[in-house]
Every structure is written in structure tokens, then in C-alpha cells.
């Protein structure tokens, strides 16, 4: 036995506290935790991996590529959750295990062809939906979801798994709850047309319990797990970079 057990590190403590909160909110329903590691160094990811966390979310293809390469021996699962530019689609399709931010039909043939060329087998995708209709944010309009889902389902190297969304971070939790409920309705509608759909990715550090209460099957948590971004993270012994 090592002198310091894994459970004494700050990363382990935060992970087990978070898992406890997820379990309490989920009431025996399975809810996946995606650890959002954007801006965190590979060492911080490795520390959580050592505590059993397997799935990590990244926002930028270039930043993720370096970490994925560094940590390849650990066999982790990597999800892209940030906006995907068309000129990065081919690289992303080869690199990630799941792309949660597919929000327009133009990406589909690019991802499909690149995934085929990678020889990695079908790529899991989620369709990102813009629930609050904010012009500045990515995500497809709810009305466009059926057509986008049809197009995705026709791509042999893509596997449509569900929906992802980032509702507006309004202070009023009742409004957020309503957005999550609308997303759950859209998810159920999608599942009627596409029975293989099983993933509803919604909820972040501030509101994941609310999202779980409204039917999230996956929550994406960054700061509640790693500490505030860009704060140097001295608590876990890591230098700021
Ligand atoms: C950064 C980010 C998260 C995590 O946010 P926290 O508030 O740090 O938990 C989740 N989803 C997406 C799409 C993000 O960009």
C-alpha cells in the first residue's frame, strides 16, 4: 500500500463528492459524468483517471490533440463539446470518441468520410440544439433537428446517440429547469424516430442536479471537479501554464 492513498488527493476528494451528488440526484438511474478538462494540463486529467474517471470533454481540437496524444496509454474516452469548425472536422473525427457539438448538416459528410478513413469504426455523435435561440451561440434550432437527425442517420460511419445543449446561464433556476424539460421533450421525440438514441447531455457545474432531475443521462462538469479554470490550481500541486 502506498503511504498516501488515492482518496486523500484533492482530485479524488472532489471526484467522489461529485459522484455522490450525481448519485443522489439520479435516484438509481444511471447518469454518466463527463469531466470537462479544457484548459487543464494533462497531469490533472491523469490524476482523475487514476481515480477511475474515464471520459473527458474538450472544447478545442488543437488543445485536445496534444492531451490525447500524451495520455494515449491510459485508454481514456474523449468527447468534443466545443464548436467544431468545418476545417477541423476531419481531424476531430479521427481523434475523438464522441462529438457532442454537431450542429449543422455540412459537418456530416466531412465527419463521415474522415471517420471511415481513420479505420476506427463508427463515431458517436450528439446533435447540439440551441434551446434559447440566442443568435451568438452554436447549436441547431429545435425545428431543424428532425432533418439533421435524418441526415446523420444516413451516414454509415456516424452513430447518432442523442442531444447536447447549453441552456442560457440565467440566474432564475426555474427558467433553467424549463429549458432542461424542453430538451427532454425533444430527446423523447428524437427517440421515437431513432430508437438507438440514448444520450441526453445537459447540465454543468452550476446546474447539473437540476438537469438530472429533468432527465439528463450525461452531465458535463468542469470547475466543480478541477477547481476554477485559469486559477493556477495550486490545490492539486499543479503549476499554472
Ligand atoms: C466548459 C463547459 C462545460 C463545463 O462547465 P463548468 O461550468 O466548468 O462545469 C460543460 N459543457 C460545455 C459545452 C463547456 O464548454
What predicted TM-score, i.e. pTM, was given to this entire model? 0.92
Nearest residue (by CA) to ligand 1, atom 7, is 205
The H or E element that residue 56 is part of is strand 55-58
Q: Which residue has the cell 462538469?
A: 221
- pLDDT tens sequence for the chain (241 residues): 445 554 468 889 999 999 999 999 999 999 999 999 999 999 999 999 999 999 999 999 999 999 999 999 999 999 999 999 999 999 999 999 999 999 999 999 999 999 999 999 999 999 999 998 766 678 999 999 999 999 999 999 999 999 999 998 889 999 999 999 999 999 999 999 999 999 999 999 999 999 999 999 999 999 999 987 765 444 433 333 3
**Residue 177's CB: how many other CB atoms inside 10 A?**
16
Q: Looking at ligand 1, which atom is closest to the CA of residue 204?
A: 9
Quick one: how far is CA 131 from the chain centroid? 17
Ligand 1 center from residue 3 Cα (angstroms): 34
Ligand 1 center from residue 109 Cα (angstroms): 27
- Phi-psi sector, 216: left (phi>0), alpha (psi -120 to 50), beta: beta
Ligand 1 binding pocket mutation candidate from 33, 81, 219 (most atoms within 8 A of CB): 81
Euclidean distance between CA atoms 125 and 160, whole angstroms? 5
Q: Looking at ligand 1, which atom is closest to the CA of residue 205?
A: 9
**3-state per-residue secondary structure call for 126-184:** EEEECCCCCCCCCCECHHHHHHHHHHHHCCCCEEEEEEECCCCCCCCHHHHHHHHHHHH
The reported pLDDT for the residue numbered 9 is 84
Ligand 1 binding pocket mutation candidate from 48, 99, 204, 230 (most atoms within 8 A of CB): 204
The H or E element that residue 218 is part of is strand 218-221
Nearest residue (by CA) to ligand 1, atom 13, is 81
The H or E element that residue 63 is part of is helix 61-70
Amino acid at each position: 500500500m502506498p503511504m498516501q492513498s488515492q482518496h486523500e488527493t484533492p482530485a479524488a476528494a472532489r471526484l467522489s463528492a461529485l459522484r455522490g451528488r450525481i448519485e443522489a440526484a439520479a435516484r438509481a438511474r444511471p447518469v454518466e459524468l463527463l469531466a470537462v478538462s479544457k484548459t487543464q494540463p494533462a497531469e490533472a486529467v491523469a490524476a482523475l483517471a487514476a481515480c477511475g474517471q474515464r471520459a473527458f470533454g474538450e472544447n478545442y481540437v488543437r488543445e485536445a490533440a496534444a492531451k490525447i496524444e500524451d495520455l494515449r496509454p491510459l485508454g481514456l474516452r474523449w468527447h468534443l463539446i466545443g464548436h467544431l469548425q468545418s476545417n477541423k472536422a476531419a481531424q476531430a473525427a479521427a481523434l475523438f470518441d464522441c462529438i457532442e457539438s454537431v450542429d449543422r448538416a455540412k459537418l456530416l459528410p466531412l465527419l463521415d468520410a474522415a471517420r471511415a478513413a481513420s479505420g476506427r469504426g463508427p463515431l458517436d455523435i450528439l446533435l447540439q440544439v440551441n434551446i434559447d435561440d440566442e443568435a451568438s451561440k452554436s447549436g441547431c434550432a429545435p425545428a431543424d433537428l428532425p432533418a439533421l437527425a435524418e441526415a446523420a442517420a444516413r451516414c454509415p460511419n456516424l452513430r447518432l446517440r442523442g442531444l447536447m445543449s447549453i441552456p442560457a446561464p440565467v440566474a432564475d433556476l426555474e427558467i433553467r429547469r424549463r429549458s432542461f424539460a424542453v430538451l427532454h421533450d425533444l430527446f423523447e421525440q428524437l427517440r421515437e424516430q431513432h430508437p438507438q438514441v440514448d444520450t441526453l447531455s445537459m447540465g454543468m457545474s452550476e446546474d447539473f442536479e437540476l438537469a438530472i432531475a429533468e432527465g439528463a443521462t450525461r452531465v458535463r462538469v468542469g470547475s466543480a471537479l478541477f477547481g476554477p479554470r485559469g486559477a493556477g490550481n495550486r490545490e492539486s500541486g499543479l503549476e499554472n501554464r
